[in-house]
Amino acid sequence: MPGAIHAEGLVKTFGEVRALDGVDLDVPEGTVLGLLGPNGAGKTTAVRVLTTLLEPDAGTAVVAGIDVCENPTAVRRSIGLSGQFAAVDEYLTGRENLRMVGRLYQMPAREAKRRADELLERFDLAHAGDRTAKTYSGGMRRRLDLAAALVVRPPVMFMDEPTTGLDPRNRQSLWEVIEDLVAGGTTLLLTTQYLEEADRLAHDIAVVDHGRVIARGTSDQLKARTGGERIEVVVHDPAHIPVARAVLDRHGHTGGGEGCTVEQHTRKLTVPVTGGAKLLAEVIRELDAEGIEIDDIGLRRPTLDDVFISLTGHATEPGDEPAAGTAGGAAHDAATGAGGTGTEEDDR
């Protein structure tokens, strides 16, 4: 498979830490795999192994039909990696940077120029194309970095938290660029802490925690696995939370061992249920009989956030920058610190 990613039994330890503890991954050609996981789960390490920046202690990986350990140079020619920020030259303009990447990959000068213009336009950088990269804000640098990774339209792309630190508008336009790319046949492995991003872009999702894949499937499959619907109640008076909780606990399905969760500050209680609208009506009657005033109540399908919480025990922390690595990963990791200075484009 020229465009597929296949990994088996990947292990990578850093001293005591098993960053990868036997990871298997499969990304069929032309599809998007979303790699989800809390901070420190091993996502960046997996990307670094698959992009030949790091050698695994054990296991095998074949990217674009080439073994990453046997022939890293050939793998590098077939892939794009966003986050190669060190490849962006501060003293060149945005346009010059992109043209240089094209020339490095032996693109004819005219095509490199055309591609640079096209990408500047796409990433909303046309107005700044003739300014040196060192004058760019964090968000602009990130976009330039992503554009640089796309100059040669590689058959396989890796993106490690591509939209962390982007404002919603830029995130939206990046999603469109990614969708175009995938429609054109590119295979993509994407890590993200934004579950909405995985929901929208990924055909398949692998959830990693402590260096292992703990669940995989489509977004819908994972949601279905997390179990039916949820009843969500907002009580008017915080003093009523314990009684409301007792009512909900009586009706929650206990399949996943999950009971009712309570968010004190919003007075919101959530419980996974099976039984739909009929059960909802019953819960309303019982809350009413207990004299509990309700501000809001409803039935909803589980979100990917629910899936994530029930699998890993905690919510994602979008906005946390990917962990910085060692020298070997410096080219890659340098990008992640780029948005740190609080520019107008940082959305959190």
Looking at beta carbons only, is 51 or 270 nearer to ligand ADP? 51
d(CA 103, CA 173): 26
Q: Which residues are CB-contacts of 141 (< 8 A; sequence separation ≥ 6)?
A: 85, 88, 133, 335, 338, 339
- Pick the binder of ligand ADP from 44, 97, 164, 270 (CB under 6 A): 44
Question: Which residue stretch of 41-49, 70-78, 131-139, 166-174 sits at the interface with ligand ADP (rule: CB under 6 A)?
Answer: 41-49
Cβ 148 to Mg ion shortest distance, Å: 20
d(CA 177, CA 144): 13
d(CA 305, CA 318): 12
Q: Does 129 bind ligand ADP (CB under 6 A)?
A: no
Site string for ligand ADP, 306-325 (x = CB under 6 A): ----------------xx-x
Tell me which of Mg ion, ligand ADP, none is bound by residue 83, counting a contact when its beta carbon lies within the kind-specific cut-off of 5 to 8 angstroms: none
Query: Within 27-66, which residues bind Mg ion (CB under 5 A)?
Result: 43-44
> For residues 205 and 217, is the Cβ–Cβ distance under 8 A?
yes
Cβ 86 to Mg ion shortest distance, Å: 17
User: Locate tokens 């597929």: which residue?
Assistant: 4
Query: Within 301-340, which residues bind Mg ion (CB under 5 A)?
Result: 322
Cβ 180 to ligand ADP shortest distance, Å: 26
What is the number of other CB atoms lying within 10 angstroms of the CB of residue 58? 12
- Pick the binder of ligand ADP from 71, 218, 274, 326 (CB under 6 A): 326
Q: Does 37 bind ligand ADP (CB under 6 A)?
A: yes
Which stretches of the chain are DSSP H helices? Answer: 43-50, 72-78, 94-104, 109-122, 138-150, 168-183, 195-201, 219-226, 241-251, 276-289, 304-312, 330-333
Q: Which residues bind ligand ADP (CB under 6 A)?
A: 14, 17, 19, 37, 39-45, 322-323, 325-326
Instruction: List interacting residues with Mg ion (CB under 5 A).
Output: 43-44, 322
